[in-house]
Each structure stands twice: as structure tokens, then as C-alpha cells.
Amino acid sequence: MATKKSKGWRSGKREVRPRMVQMTRHLVVTEGKETEPRYFESVRAALCAANERKVAVIVKGTGKHTLDLLDFAIEHCRYAPETFDHVWLVYDKDDFPASDFDAMERKCTEFSDGSRTFHALWSNPCFELWPLLHFRYTTAPMSAAECQRALAQAMSKDLGIEYRKNLDGVYGAVYGRRGEALQRAGRLIVHHRGLCNVKPSAQNPATRVGEIFDVIGPYLVG
């Protein structure tokens, strides 16, 4: 008996084949060599196992500042065996020149093209503002030391955790509050816009660290 051929092609129905999902690669280059890399290594570890073929994150703590940080990232991309779709530069205002701090966003735009995007994830005054926004909203200008003390007080009061510089586990301790932190960071942008504070160096307190989660957030657990 002859085997009947499938008539699917005659019916006009297209055969559905699994789509190949192209992996996106992210390079996170941080100014600090301890606090920021520890945080973003925790982010990398939190990626769902099912998403390992969809997104890859590599973290580099450099100890370099502002424009030197950008130079490092460009050189790393030039010689790395993999191609990165997104390069995230994580740096603080601290006591560095306002001109260098403000130039980074413009430089990131200049070096971005259709194949790779550079992102300026700055914080003013320091990176600790980002985890602090997981606990409360503030518009009060502060120094880096004051911001770190405020974070220590918030973590002690709300979580019973004694915060110290370079503490492991900060991402895991606060990840459930990320939505609130993103909302508060957005409110700070609106706040400074209302004050006509255009330059990043004039926006204290403010941070753009949360912008990375607009891209990789859907792949994270929690």
C-alpha cells in the first residue's frame, strides 16, 4: 500500500519550525574593583539556566576612572574573542573632574554603532545610591561617605544586615525591591529635569545603574 504524502503544503499552512534565538553578549566594565564587580557578578549568577543561550554577561573590575574606563572597554572589545552587543560602563562622580564625568555620556554615544551600544551607568555621588534607592527615595544632595552610611542604616533597619564596603550578597538581599528602586531612580531624573540640572555632575543624587535592567531584567530570576 502506497504511503500517503502529507498535504500540508497544499493546504497553504506553513510548517512551523523552532526559531533560533541569537545570544546577546554584555560586557560590564566597572570603575571599582570590589563593590561593583561583586554586585554584577551576582546579577550574572542570577540569570536563569534556561536563558544561558540567550544572554551572556561578563564583568570586569578595572580600578580605572571615567574616560580611562571607556578606553579600557574599547580595547577589551577590540581584542576579545567574543563580540559584545552592549557595553555597560559603571562609574561614580566621587571627587573626579566634572568635565570628565559629564563627557562620558557623549563619548558613549559617539562610539556606539549598529553592532554595539555603549551605555554610561553613572552614579552621583557613588554606586551605593543604587542599592539605597531599594529602600527609600531622597533628593537630598550627599557625599559618597554620607550615601554609604545611609545605605548601612537602611540595610540594618530593614534587613538586619550589617553593611560594609565590598560586602558580598547585596544584589541578593535587595533584588525583590528592584521595581521600587527603578521607580525612584526615574523620579530623580524628573526631579533634576525640573531643576534644569542637565549635566550628570549637577544631578546629586542620581544614578543610571538601573538602566541595565531594562535590557537584561527579563532574563533574571527575581
Domain boundaries, the chain: 21-219
All cell numbers assigned to 68: 580611562
Band the pLDDT of 9: cuts 50, 70, 90. very low
* pTM (predicted TM-score): 0.88
Cell 523552532 locates to: 18
67-110 confidence digits (pLDDT tens): 999 999 999 999 999 999 999 999 999 888 999 999 999 999 99
Task: Return the sign of the alpha-carbon dihedral for residues 107, 108, 110, 111.
Answer: positive
pLDDT for residue 8 is more than 50 = no
Average pLDDT over residues 167-196: 96
For residue 18, what pLDDT band results from cuts at 50, 70 and 90?
very low
pLDDT tops 50 at residue 118? yes
Q: Are the CB atoms for 70 and 89 separated by under 8 Å?
A: yes
Q: Output the pLDDT for position 220.
A: 82
Q: Is residue 170 a contact partner of residue 132, using CB atoms and an 8 Å limit?
A: no
Lowest mean pLDDT among 2-6, 71-75, 184-188: 2-6
Region 156-180: mean pLDDT is: 92
Q: Are 164 and 213 in contact (CB under 8 A)?
A: no
Going by pLDDT thresholds of 50, 70 and 90, the confidence category of residue 164 is confident
pLDDT digits (tens, 9 = 90+) for 24-75: 999 999 999 999 999 999 999 988 665 777 899 999 999 998 899 999 999 9
Exposure pattern of 163-179 as b/e (b: 16+ CB <10 Å)?
A: beeebeebbebbbeebe
Q: How many CA atoms lie within 13 A of 173 on its CB side?
A: 21
